[in-house]
Each structure stands twice: as C-alpha cells, then as structure tokens.
Structure 1
Amino acid sequence: MKRMVILAMALWVGQSAVAQVEPTWESMADNYEVPEWFLDGKLGVWFHWGIPSAIDEDRPNDDSHYGRRMYGLKEYWSPKGAKEDLDRTAALTQWHTERYGHPSEFGYEKLIPMFKAEKWDPDALVKFCKDNGAHFIMPVACHHDNFDMYDSSHSWNSVDMGPKRDTLKEWKAAAQKHGLKFGVSTHLYWSPKFFSAARKYQKRGTPGWEFFNMDYDPAKYASQDRWNEHWYKRCWEIIEKYDPDWFNNDCPYPNERTGKSLGLQLFSSYLNRDRAENGGSQTVVFSAKGGKDKRAYTPNVERGGSADIQAQPWMWATDLSGNWFYRKDAVNKMSIPVMVGNAVDAISKNGVVMLNIALKGDGTIPANQAAYLTAFGDFLKTSGEGIYGTRPWTVFGEGPTVINEGRQQENLENFVPQDIRFTVKGDALYAFVLARPTEDIVIKTLAKGGVYADEVGAVELLGSDETLAWTRSAEALTISLPKTLPDDLVIGFRITSVRAQKRAARYPAFSWDTVPVAFHFGNSPALLTEAEAKFVATRSNFICLEKGHASGQFKDTETGIEMEARQLKALNPDMKVIFYWNAFLDYPMFQAHQEYQQHPEWWLKTVDGQVDIKPNTRLEMKRYDLSNPEFRDWWAGVARKAVVEGSCDGVFMDAFPQVASPDNIPLWGQEKYDAIQQGLKEIIWETRQKIGEDKLIVYNGIRSTPTWQVGYDYPEHTDAAMIEHFGHFNSGSKECMLKDILEMERACKNGRIVVFKGWSGFTFIDGAFMRKSLAEKQEIARKSITFPLAAFLVGAQENSYFIYNWGYRMEMGCLEWYPEFDKPLGEPLGDMVREGWTLRREFEHASVWVDLESKDAKIIWQKQRGGK
C-alpha cells in the first residue's frame, strides 16, 4: 500500500509542473480553491440508496443504521441520548427476528437479493433533478454497511450482487448527458465498528468474513495499518475509475496520529490529480464533516446551519426522507416552506444546498420526498436569478428567526415575513422574504445611511412585471405589498441602484439571436465609405475605432474618430462608438502627441535614467509615467474631450498587460513598478470622473500567459475588457486558453462586457501569411473560424462579443463576414460542461464542442426546436 501511495503521488508530480499540494492541513488550506461551478450552481441532490432501501418499508425507525441495530449493537451513537438509542436498537433487533429470522440465521448479507433496482432509471431521475433546479448530483458510493454501489475490486458490490448494475457509472453518464456535475460520497470508514455486533456469527473462510470486516479490530481499526490502507485503496479506486467532480468523505479518515496521514494523502492526491489535468487550476470539490482547518475543504454542515456569513463556502445538507434511507412514509420533520427558507438562508451565508433523496429499493422516488424538490424547483423557476451565480452580500439579512450554528442544529421553526435574506450578483441586490407577506415589506437593513450606500433606483418583484410602489427613509426600505404575488413559498425582489441603472443604460443592446459580434479597427487613409459604414452599422451595436482612424484625411486621430462616430450613429443611433486612447504608449498620430512631447517629466524612465521607448517598432513610442499626477490629469482630459465633446460613447484604454507585466520590474525597479500599477488605478478613476457615469470604459485586457495573468481583478470603474490574445502571442497553451474562457464567463456574470478577439489562424505579425494574397488570407480565415468561435461560445454570457480578423487595420479582415454570423443561435441552455480539456455547450439552435488540447472544434447549427 505504501508503494501504491508513493507511486500515485509521483505520477501526478511527473505529469504536472504545477506546485503540489502536500498532505498537510497547512498545504491543503493554502491551495484549496472552491471552483466557480459549485459556487454558481447552488443546488444539488444527494442520493442515499442501497441495501437498506429494499428492506421492508414498514420497519421501525432505524436512523439509517439498520445494519448495526439488527445485530443489537449496544453502543451510543445517537446524539439524542443513550437510552433512546438502545431502545431503538432493541426494537429493531426484535422486529428483524420476527420478520426475517434471528440474525445468526438471517444476517445482513441475506438482505442483498431483495435490492433489485428493477425500476431504476438514472436518466429520468437526473432529468427530474435538473428540471427542478439541481446543478449536481452526489450518489452514495459506499455506506457504513461496506457494500459498494459500483464495479469494485471489493467483492461485495452492486455489479456482482443485488441489482447487478454499476450504479456509479450509470449515474455519471446521466449527469453528463444532462449537464450536471457528478459527485460521489463515501461513508466507509466506520464500517468495522458498524458491524462489530455481527462478528460472533461469522466463520472464517466464508464470504461474510470479508463483508463484516473480520480482519479488522472494531475497537482499534483506526490505528490498524491494514484497515487504513484498505480504506485508501477503496477510495482511490472510486476516484480513478469514475473521475468525480466532487468527493465527499462523510466519515472520519486515517488521521495524522493513528492513521499515518493516509486521509490527507488521499485528499491531497485527489486535488493534485485534478490540478495536473487542468494546468494547475482546481476544478473539483472536496467536502468533509471535519478537519483541522476549514479552509482546506468544503465543510458538510449536515442537518445544521450557520448563524452568519461564512468566509469559506460550505454545504448545507438536509435529508428529505427523515431517515437518510427509504422507509415508508418517513419524511423530514422540517416542513416544505421551512426547507425552502432554510435553503435560501444557507445560500445567503455562502452555503450550497444539498437535498438528500432516499430512493426506494426499486429505484423510484417516494412522492413525499419529490414534493420537497418540486417546491424548491418552483421557487427557482421564479427566483433563480437571485440564487444561481450569486454571492453573499455585506450582511446576510435580518429578522427574528434564529439559526443555530453547527451540525445537527437545523431550524424546524416557521419563518415570518420579517425574515429577510440577501444575495448579490453583478449590480443587483436580491432580497428574499422567507414567508409569504400579507402586508407591506419593511427592510430595515436598506434604510438610507445604512450599509446600502447607493441610491435605490428600482425595486422589482421576481417573476412579475408589476410596477411596485416603494419608499426609502432613514428607518427602512418599505415595499408596498404587491397586488399579486407569485405562488411561491419565498418571495424575491431585485433591487437596483441608480448607479447600476446608469451602467445598464450605457451598455450596447445585446442579443443571442445570432453570434454577438463587435468591430474593432481603424482605417488610416479616410472615413469609411457610405457602404462600409452601413455594413458596420447594420451588423453590430458595438465598435471601437482604432488609433490613426481617418488621420490621413483629417491629420489626427481625434478628429477622424469624431467624424466617423457621427456617421455611424446617424445610421444606427443605438451604436456605441468607443474612442481608442492608449494608456501607456505615445502614438504620434494623435493630436495630443504634440503636447505630450513638450513634457519630458511625463516620460517614463528606466532605472539607469534612460527614456523608456517600446522596442522593435518602426515608431518611436515613449511610455507614459502613470505615476505622475499631472500626466494623469492631462490624459483623462484628452479622453474627456474625445468622448464627451466628440460624439463617442466611451474610451478604450489599451496596453494594460504591458503595464502590469512583471518583466518590467528589472527595467524600472520595484518601487517605480509599484507606483505605475497604482497610477493605472488612479487614471481609471480620474477618467471616470471626467467622462461621467453615462460613458463606457473598456480596457485591454484580460490575458493569461504560462507565467503570469493580468486583468482578472476588473479594475474598479471599468465596464468592459478585451481578451485580445486568445490562442496566440504566448497565450496559446490549453491552460491559458481555458483561463481566458473561464474569465470571460466570470466577468460577464459579474456584470462586465467582454470583447473576445479570435484570430484567423494567423496574425498581422506573421510575415509569411501577410505576404499571401487577400483571397488566400480570406480562405484561411474561413477555414479557421470554427475553433475560436466555438471557444467563445462555450464561455459567452450576456454582454460577450466576438471579433474575428487578423489585425487592426480595415484591410486585415475587419470587414469580412462569415456564414456562421448569420445562423440562428438562440439563448444558451445552461453553462458549458467540461470534461478535461473538452468543453461543450447547448444553445437553442446550436451545439458547440471544443477540445483545447487538440484545438479541434465543432458547431452543429440546428433547426429551430419544435420542428419550425
């Protein structure tokens, strides 16, 4: 076993150059990062299903521990009290004897043939979960009873016995088909103790000897190397064979003191395995009920709650069956309205909801449990906007109902309309009333002068078009009771600030009808012809006019862009025209260049006192000293004149990656480098002050390289970012491309615009390609469009725009148009599904698939759904 652990660790070291997570709590805490899919998805379904599911449904309550109770194990496990636990065990032992026979003659192993799963349809079950809002499932792989629900090397398993099916394999296939993440849950570690009272009935050499863990001491198993190594092997087999997106360890594990840290070795190996496959990024979730440092895993707060917002994401798990495994008429003591309220409470405190469904032995869902999930699904259909993709706000909420901290403390009390919970996404604040109101809703937290500092611009009822009446005072935000409330148990409101309304007003109109396309180019000789301008104005609402545009006609860029903006907006009044103004380099084709040349104190100097000039260019372009406040004021003033007085809708601030590159530190020195970074933040703020809230600030941009990334913090006061170098310019590795796609997805979900530039299989710096004829370049571009377009589509969100060409001058393919741009696309049917380096996504009228490793892609354009 030791050799196997070392080999597994070495395998991942050999496959990846990324730093390894060490098997220590400290290293786990430093490296564990919950993936966005988990934080965004919010709801999953946990399936407890196995041998106990097929036992007579009229059995007494066994608290999901039939296997230990039938043998009369008189050990205190229950938190409710030892006597109650012993009485329950005695009743169950007697019932088993009367119903099936004495445990010495009819042991737990003889229950296995009853578990047939004859009606189990994982595809239909997963679809039911998805239809009711779930984004992931997590079946139990092995419970305390030592029976594996998969094709296991352990001989007691569901393939060789019982249903004769690999349930994990089928669960995963169904999850992938429906675009849900797939997790597994193991409860194995307690197994030797669980069956300790069955030991007296076992005989060496019989199959039951292995099943009842006879080779391990039920009192000392936690310090037995053989058991700990056996546990590791069983768990690692699940990980290797089924590659789960989520691994939940429900029980204890081999610890540092008695188990030679095999638990931490398994958990860290799981993370390292994932990081090795994903370029150092973590895409999986590891959850557990306990550990030395909660930053090292996702805590499973089973049947519990949180009194406040948790710094780390956590899992609120409750059991809809009231017994974890199916028993007739058993159901959670928590009412359905309270369950929905508790779920929203958990989400407002950085929690993710897991609802356990206990399937019947035949594989079907009991109606009383389905009712819970359906009720939550109905709520999500109305108010999911304020749940999915949200994060906790500054405070979780208000109201009299107290939620206790910790496991086994879940709230069973009814909420009242004064119980309010908050979430936030982008510019929207969501307020949920946890019980249906019958009078005006009073939210004290949102009073003027409180934690919500912005001026409220709008209050809207989720799931309704009704115009609401509301007032805001120093005491509260008061919402008049809507005339008609949705038929949901929890009522949601969207609250938008005046500032956010102004942001929305300055954004270009967006549509999924076809591929959302933007333009970004310049034409140095002259303005666009009438035909060219009409071509642009009828195909997009969003364009950035590059440096030098029409400067041959008007002698400077500023005038050229102003005149072009007027022409385009006359053709399309909704078009947003952006003025290009480099944030770091002095281009001579601007009128402002003349004034800059007169201020040597604004020129950036290297550590040896030389003027910093961009190398390898035909133009002598000095770099700006962004740390100089007088320069920043001048630069922002130029932007103001061009934008406010020049008919433009915003400014494009170029060269952020050049400013931020750590390669500049030796050139400028650390102190100057830090001052330049701070100056960049300051110039954005000053520009916002000068151009106003109704204008756009676009920056270039978001970029990943093998050694550094930039643009991920979305500089404050900006609206949009460009991903300029996707797939090229040292950003073409699968790791870099994935990071850029994920960042586009995240930025747009956070309310930003992202312009995604796809290159036509070559760029303007590729001399051999640029010497080809225009017809040859056009042909190459037509053949190369599928990969960058598919990469864009799998990650695109509202306010994502695609650009495709081989440069920035009009003759570099900037006015080329492709058949793909005219095909119906339609709304996305969920976010992308990732399997290693393969990404796929469904739209109303298109299916998209892309492999970042091979750079292969496919887009299947479909007829309108419904046969139209």
Structure 2
Amino acid sequence: MKAIYVFTLFSVLLNCMHVLKADEPSSPKKGSDRMPSFSWDRVPLYVHIRKDTAFTEEEIKHLASFPLITFEKATGHRDSGSVEAGTLKAARAVKAVNPAAKILYYRNVIVHYGGYAADQSLEDIPEAFLVGRDGNDKLIRNRIQAYDLTNKALRNWWIDAAKEVCSDPSIDGIFLDGVVKVLEPAFLKNVIEEKKKAAELAGYLTMMEDTRTMLGPQKLMIANVLRARFPDSSLSSMQALDGSYIEGFEGAVGMSKKDYVAKGMAAFQKAAQQGAIIAFTCGLGSNQQDADETPRSAARNSNNVKRVRDAESRFDYQLAMFLICAEQYSYFDLKDSYDAKASKTWMKHPSEYDRPLGAPNGPAVRDGYKYTRQFAHASVRLDIETQTGNIVWKQQAQE
C-alpha cells in the first residue's frame, strides 16, 4: 500500500508541472528579440560543444556562424581556472564576432560535475548530496555525487551559481541537463527511499520555477527534457521552458525502436508547432544516451532491426528525420562527440548544409512508419522501420 501511495504521489507531482502557466510573470515570453535567429534558406543549425582549453580564433569564427550555441560542462576550465570563466571567455569571443548568436550556459540539475568555481561554497552546505541506503553518496555511475534537491540551501546555491554567469550580457540563457534522471521514476528507485525520490522531484519543480524567475523574461531556458519514454513524452514539462534539447532519440524503452522513434517524432512536431525551440542533436553511433535512467533489461532489448552503420547513410537518416519534424526555431546538430578535442566531425561542414532548402509546403505526411515532406527546394522521405532517409535537393538534381 505504501508503494502505491508513493507512486501516486510521484505521478501527481509530474502532472502538477502544468501549474507553471505561460501567462504567469515568471514564464517565458516569445518575443522575437530574445529568440535565436532562424531561416529556412538552409538547414538551420545548432552547436553543442565543450573544450577544456580555450577555443582558437578559427574555432571562434566557426562557432559564431551558428544562431544557437551551448557550451558544455568543462568548457575552458584548464586555461581559465573554472567552467564559469572558461564559458564566459568563449561566449564573449563569439559575441565579438556575431552579437546576434544566442549562447547557453550548461548546468546539470542533479549530477555534480566538477570544475566550477561555485563548488567552493558548496562545501559549506550540509547534506547537499543524495545518500543511498548503504551510505554511498556516489550515486551517478557509482562515481559522481547527485544533488539533494529537497535541500533548500542546495537549491539556492544552484540558482545563485547559475545567476552569476547568466547575468553576464554574453550569456543568453541556461541549458538544463539531467532532467530525465529526475523525472524518471525508475532512476535511483532502489538506491534511495521512494518518498525521497518523490521529494527530489518536488524540489526540482520548485528550483525550475525559481530559476525562471531568476532569469527574468529575456533570458532563454532550454532543457534536455523531451523523451518518448514518458507517457506524454514530457510535453507537460515544457511549460516554464523556451524549448527542449533532444538526444537519445532512439534509445527505446518499453516498446519497439520504430514505435519509440515515431512517438518521439510526434512530440518533437507538437512542441515545435507550438513555438518551442528544438535543439535536435544526433550521434553517428547507436545514439542511446539514456543508460543512466534505463533499467538494464530495457537497455538490452533488441527489435532485430538492422542498424545503419554507414556514416553517410546515418547522416541522411538523421537529417531527414529532423526535416520531417522541424518548424520555426528548430535546429540540427549531428556529431560523434561533445568534446572538440575528440570529435572527428568538429569544424566540419557537410555540403548539404549549404544547399537551398526553403520553407516547407506544410507538415509531413505519415503512412505507417514512412514519412514524406516537401520543401521549396527539397523533397524528404523517411522510413524509421528500415532506418533510412532520402533527401532530393532540387539544386542537386539540376546539376
């Protein structure tokens, strides 16, 4: 009976996320001056990157060509002494080249990654981290601490640390990671008490509302939140946000991969059609980044669909998937690593990005697991059952 009560409480807390109404003073405004620049002329692009040392002048010029940028954790901390200083150095350099670029500061809502100057004051907060039933406080991959969001002092520290960077004119908002961990009922369920897990979610909701208030009406608030794994794909979690980053799009949980991808695409389409910013990030590999939140049995499931291994085919498939779903303020990023020093795709610019695209003639047409969509200068076909995509560029056809 106790377990049923706790699960019900957790579900109620999830459903209560709609209380952050779009017309409340702390809610985001959709003014064009605060949104990233957008055009259908070419494939709209996003970049999400980290480098533990300073970016070169050439890299800064490359970054400045993107309308929307997230500087990941660890950015610049080796050269600048902290992630905060490294991020601000990179952001200011980009703004000097392209003042219109929108730059987001990375913070994880639950995972305690090091390298931040703010960590020093965290040492003064008692019980800042979650502790398992066995006394272990390294709950993330058995080596990293997790924030105890039931602790008001911890939440205030987190918000103050974010404010310190986000108040700088070179930073246009915050990128929130780790949200899926907090929302997923199975995550840490067997490690901490069930009531504690529900309380952790409640603390997160409070922290997000307070973060929205702290940022004010002009700064962006984008979270890694949309996932088909949830009953409503976390669309109800978007109320206080300007948009969602998307990763782990193919990490099927509880259903076949094709159904999981179809559900995720539907959520992408709905959120984008409602005006949300969508930062669609894909990997050239299997792209199943939800390992922390996924029960091992689900992670091992296979639907016997042949994986697309060829990098070029994978690129075509992912880009076609994006174009099927994209609306105004949707941006595409395909990479093999978030680390600029490890990535082979960093600083690369596929020829497809330079081909004229043009506005879509309308929404995509779906027939089972096949989708088609027409743009002014391109025709897109996608089959998520065979994991294939095809884009016919009119300019290319005429060449």
The separation in 1 between residues aligned to 2:393 and 2:108, in whole angstroms, is 39
Question: Counterparts of 1:281-360 in structure 2 under 5 Å?
Answer: none
Matching residue within 262, 268, 273 for 1:738: 262
CA deviations over 1:132-186 (Å, ceiling 9, x no partner): xxxxxxxxxxxxxxxxxxxxxxxxxxxxxxxxxxxxxxxxxxxxxxxxxxxxxxx
CA–CA distance in structure 2, aligned partners of residues 643 and 606 of structure 1:
33
Q: Which has the higher contact order (CA 8 A, sep 6+)?
A: 2
CA gap 1:729/1:819 in 2 versus in 1, 3 angstroms: farther
Whole-angstrom distance in 1 between the partners of 2:28 and 2:231? 32
Offset at 1:819? 1.1
Q: Assess if the C-alpha contact under 8 Å between 1:846 and 1:861 holds in 2.
A: yes
- Secondary structure of 1:632's aligned partner: helix
Match of 2:113 among 560, 583, 587: 587
The answer to whether 1:672 aligns with 2:200 is: no
Q: CA deviation at 1:669?
A: 2.5
How far, CA to CA, are the matches of 2:29 and 2:280 in structure 1?
25
* Distance of 1:745 and 1:783 partners within structure 2: 23
Q: In the alignment, does 2:44 pair up with 1:516?
A: yes
CA drift at 1:668 = 2.2
Compute the displacement of 1:764 (Å): 10
User: What amino acid does structure 1 have at the position aligned with 2:374?
Assistant: E
Corresponding residue of 2:154: 631
Report the TM-score when normalising by structure 2: 0.82
Confirm or deny that 1:575 pairs with 2:101: yes
Partner of 1:224: none
1:759 to 283, 292, 304: 283
**Per-residue Cα deviation, 1:240-278 (whole angstroms, up to 9, x for no partner):** xxxxxxxxxxxxxxxxxxxxxxxxxxxxxxxxxxxxxxx
Q: 1:205 matched to which residue of 2? A: none
Give 2:76's aligned amino acid.
Answer: A
Give how far 1:511 is off: 0.7
Specify the alignment match of 1:564 in structure 2: 90
1:717 alignment partner, SS class: coil
1:537 to 50, 57, 64: 64
Q: Which amino acid aligns with 1:741?
A: M
Pairwise CA RMSD: 2.8
Hey, what's the Cα distance between the residues in 2 that align with 1:596 and 1:499?
28
The equivalent position to 1:641 in structure 2, one of 135, 156, 164, is: 164
* 1:602 maps onto 2:128 in alignment: yes
Which of 723, 730, 745 is equivalent to 2:246?
723
Distance 2:232 2:73 in 1: 26
**Does structure 2 retain, via aligned residues, the 8 Å contact 1:704–1:710?**
yes
Per-residue deviation, 1:763: 5.6
The equivalent residue for 1:773 is none
Give the counterpart letter for 1:626 in structure 2.
Answer: L
1:528 CA drift (Å): 1.4
Deviation, 1:864, is: 10
Post-superposition shift, 1:708? 6.3
- Show structure 1 runs of 4+ deviating over 6 A: none
- Shift, 1:614, TM fit: 0.8
Alignment partner of 2:32: what SS? helix
| 3-state SS of 1:662 partner | coil
Tell me if 1:808 matches 2:358: no
- How far residue 634 of structure 1 moved from its aligned partner, in angstroms, is 1.1
Deviation at 1:502, TM superposition (A): 5.8
Offset at residue 503 of structure 1 (A): 4.3
Q: State yes or no: 1:613 paired with 2:145.
A: no
Please give the alpha-carbon distance, in whole angstroms, between the structure 2 residues aligned to 1:733 and 1:854. 11
Q: How does 1:173-192 map to 2 (within 5 A)?
A: none
Offset of residue 728 of structure 1? 4.3
- Seen in structure 2, the aligned counterparts of structure 1 residues 788 and 536 have a Cα distance that, compared at 3 Å, is same
Structure 1 732/510 Cα, relative in aligned 2: closer, same or farther at 3 Å? farther
Paired position in structure 2 for 1:661: 184
**Post-superposition offset of 1:506:** 1.5
* Shift in alpha-carbon separation, 1:583–1:710, aligned structure 2, 3 A: farther
> What code does the residue aligned with 1:736 have?
Y
Q: CA deviation at 1:681?
A: 1.3
Q: CA–CA distance in 2 between the matches of 1:503 and 1:716?
A: 16
CA distance in 2, matches of 1:818, 1:673: 44
Computing the radius of gyration from Cα coordinates, the structure with the larger value is: 1
Out of 771, 785, 788, the residue aligned to residue 318 of structure 2 is 788
1:849 corresponds to which of 377, 381, 390: 381
Size of the aligned set, in residue pairs, is 356
Q: Residue 320 of structure 2 contacts residue 382 of structure 2 at CA under 8 Å; is this kept in 1?
A: yes
Secondary structure at the aligned position of 2:221 is classed as strand
**1:387: which partner in 2?**
none
Structure 2 Cα separation of the partners of residues 643 and 781 of structure 1: 37
Distance 1:621 1:710, change over 3 A: farther
Offset of residue 530 of structure 1: 1.0
Please say if 1:552 is aligned against 2:75. no
Contact preservation (8 Å) 1:586, 1:593: no
Q: Decide whether aligned partners of structure 1 residues 611 and 518 sit closer, same or farther in structure 2, where only a CA change above 3 A counts.
A: same
Shift of 1:627: 1.6
Paired amino acid for 2:190: P
Q: 1:864 to 1:690 in 2, by over 3 A?
A: same
Change beyond 3 A, Cα 1:759–1:569: same
Deviation at 1:604, TM superposition (A): 1.0
Structure 1 unaligned spans of 5+ = 1-425, 428-452, 456-497, 766-778
Quote how far apart the aligned CAs of 1:709 are. Answer: 6.7
SS of 1:602's equivalent in the other structure is coil
Structure 2 Cα separation of the partners of residues 548 and 454 of structure 1? 34
Contact 2:27 2:212 in 1 (8 A): no
- Asked if the contact 1:726/1:732 (under 8 Å) is kept, the reply is no
Structure 1 residue 588: Cα displacement: 1.1
8 Å contact kept, 1:845–1:864:
no
Preserved CA contact (<8 Å) 1:603 1:625: yes
Query: Distance in 2 between the 1:572 and 1:814 partners?
Result: 19
2:391 alignment counterpart: 859
Give the letter aligned to residue 806 of structure 1.
Answer: D
Q: C-alpha separation between the residues in 2 aligned to 1:823 and 1:641?
A: 41
From the superposition, tell whether residues 597 and 733 of structure 1 become closer, same or farther in structure 2 (CA, over 3 Å). farther
Cα shift at 1:611? 2.0
* Residue aligning to 2:299: none
Question: Match of 2:329, as an amino acid?
Answer: N
- SS across alignment from 1:722: strand
Deviation at 1:793, TM superposition (A): 0.6
Counterpart contact for 2:233–2:267, Cα < 8 Å: no
Q: How far apart are 1:533 and its partner, in Å? A: 1.0
**Is 1:711 paired with 2:234?**
yes
